[in-house]
Amino acid sequence: MWINERIGKDGKTVYRYRERYIDPSTEKTKIISVTLTSRSNQAKNQAAKLLQEQITEKINAPKEPDITFEKALERYLEKYKIKVKKSSYLSVLTSIGTVKRLVGKDTILRKIDESFLRDIVERAYYEEKYSLNYTKKIKALVISVMKQAKLDNYQVVVPQFQLDLVLRQKEKQEKYLEKWELKALIDQLNSKSVNTRKADMVEFQALTGLRYGELIALRNSEFFGSYIKVDGTIDHRDGKYSDEPIRTFPKTSMAFRNVTLSERAIKIIEKVQYENQLMKNEFSEYIDRGYLFTNRKGMPIDYRTFETCLKNAAKLAGINKPVTTHYMRHTHVSLLAEMGMPIKTIMERVGHKDVSTTLEIYNHVTDKMKSNLLDGLNELKF
């Protein structure tokens, strides 16, 4: 217990007695207080008694009755929907059916312990052959539902454990491009005049590490000669091809950043600006919305159009990887890792909030560099 002294509205001195306790519903430390007009020993004893009564009342507060997983999920989604961007909400919805089937919609939430959830995760990955990322998504959703239920005063214990799955061989595959693969992809796209804009986008992503939504959200006003300001993204998960672009805030607070540009990256922007001006003069349907990487109507190039073109070009270029736009972002991380850039510097540049993604690529690249070094040493002859 500690005491804060302050002057009340009537000008008299009052004493606020404070005490900490652990809230059993959230397992977080909370503070309660009582205010008295004295700090005598008698007042201290009285304050201690009042504070203990408050703590006892809060700890022994009646709990909510049992709730099924399905009902808890519904309550979680109601609150999640108003807290996040539409794209994040839609992303969660894609896994709802699978999670309800695996957990069991009528399962009592408090019966989901570490053993129960671990069994679900392992069944999803080993038996049902879901990808590692999707399996992580299943685990994260169940835990999020349970955390919300705990905040709603239901009696649940949220499982806490790290995944220790033995990865399938194909998921150990590099999720970035080697330099020769990147060049082959860009050359393949440039081989058709209709895809040269997409070739520039691939190269610019590999040079800057932007997410695809950040790339197509980039406007002329965010180009400052030697750097770009990343402060938005295009929500491409919803809507039709003809809809006006929905520009929202970036994925996380870390995603707000300035990205310095190489000479080649600057030249790409200047080339794109010149080509946009030509399209504006040539095509009556071109509306200048201020975006850089646009189609002949002045619209940011749709993710679905770009992704299909990218996969086809990668196949024709002889790249045996399921290439996506995110590969370019990871390629940028791998290039920086090869240069020996510190992990913190790389995270800040690409706007990573979680170190695990950066570290995974960084370690993979540095391990390969060590292997190449050993191969080189073994080939030395004197």
Same structural domain for residues 19 and 133?
A: no
Same structural domain for residues 204 and 256?
A: yes
Residue span of the structural domain in which 329 resides: 179-372
User: Can you list the positions of beta strands (E) in the chain?
Assistant: 2-7, 13-23, 28-36, 227-230, 233-234, 247-248, 257-260
Q: What is the rounded CA–CA span in Å between residue 287 and residue 347?
A: 36
pLDDT at 113: 92
- b/e per residue 91-111 (b: at least 16 CB within 10 A): ebeebeebbeebbeeebebee
Six token digits for residue 122:
């392992």
Higher pLDDT, 150 or 85: 150
Same structural domain for residues 218 and 326?
A: yes
Same structural domain for residues 183 and 155?
A: no
Among 65-79, 133-147, 164-178, the minimum mean pLDDT is found in: 164-178
In a domain, 101, yes or no: yes
Higher pLDDT, 376 or 348: 348
In a domain, 263, yes or no: yes
Select, from the ranges 35-44, 256-265, 299-308, 351-360, the one with the highest average predicted confidence (pLDDT): 256-265
pLDDT digits (tens, 9 = 90+) for 112-169: 999 999 999 999 999 998 888 889 999 999 999 999 999 998 988 999 988 888 877 6
Residue 324 reports pLDDT greater than 70 = yes
Enclosing H/E stretch for 317: none
pLDDT band at 5 (very low <50, low <70, confident <90, very high): confident
Same structural domain for residues 362 and 221?
A: yes
Report the predicted TM-score, pTM, of the whole model to 2 decimal places: 0.65
pLDDT digits (tens, 9 = 90+) for 230-268: 999 987 655 555 567 888 888 788 899 999 999 999 999
Same structural domain for residues 17 and 86?
A: no
CATH of the domain at 257: 1.10.443.10
Q: Which of 153, 159, 260, 166 minimizes the C-alpha distance to 207?
A: 260
Q: What is the C-alpha R_g of the chain?
A: 28
Residue 381 reports pLDDT greater than 80 = no
pLDDT at 204: 97
Six token digits for residue 284:
């009556």
pLDDT at 59: 77
Share of the chain above pLDDT 90, in %: 54
Domain boundary among the residues 122, 153, 172 is at 172
Average pLDDT over residues 288-303: 93
3-state helix, strand, coil split of the chain in percent (to 5) is: 55, 10, 30
Helix (H, G, I), strand (E, B) or coil at 51: helix
Q: What is the rounded CA–CA span in Å between residue 236 and residue 312?
A: 20
Same structural domain for residues 184 and 162?
A: no
Kindly write down the DSSP assignment for every residue of 89-122, as one continuous string.
HHHHHTTHHHHHHHH-TT-BGGG--HHHHHHHHH
Same structural domain for residues 199 and 154?
A: no
In a domain, 105, yes or no: yes
Domain boundary among the residues 141, 172, 203 is at 172
> Are 314 and 323 contacting, i.e. CB atoms less than 8 angstroms apart?
yes
pLDDT at 225: 94
In a domain, 379, yes or no: no
Among 91-100, 120-129, 220-229, 365-374, the minimum mean pLDDT is found in: 365-374
Question: In this structure, what is the dihedral angle of CA atoms 250, 255, 258, 259, given to the nearest 10 degrees?
Answer: -100
In a domain, 380, yes or no: no
Q: What are phi and psi of 47, to 5 degrees?
A: -65, -45
In a domain, 354, yes or no: yes
Same structural domain for residues 189 and 313?
A: yes
Contacts of residue 336, defined as CB under 8 A and 6 or more positions apart, other chains included, come to 209, 345, 346, 349
Q: Which of 272, 199, 196, 265 minimizes the C-alpha distance to 228?
A: 265
Domain boundary among the residues 137, 172, 207 is at 172
Supply the mean pLDDT for the chain.
87
User: How many domains is the chain built from?
Assistant: 3
Burial class (CB in 10 A: 0-12, 13-18, 19+), 301: buried
> Are 329 and 246 contacting, i.e. CB atoms less than 8 angstroms apart?
no
Residue 10 reports pLDDT greater than 80 = no
Residue 227 reports pLDDT greater than 80 = yes
pLDDT at 240: 57
Same structural domain for residues 51 and 79?
A: no
pLDDT band at 12 (very low <50, low <70, confident <90, very high): confident
Same structural domain for residues 40 and 110?
A: no
pLDDT at 1: 87
In a domain, 38, yes or no: yes
In a domain, 150, yes or no: yes
Same structural domain for residues 227 and 360?
A: yes
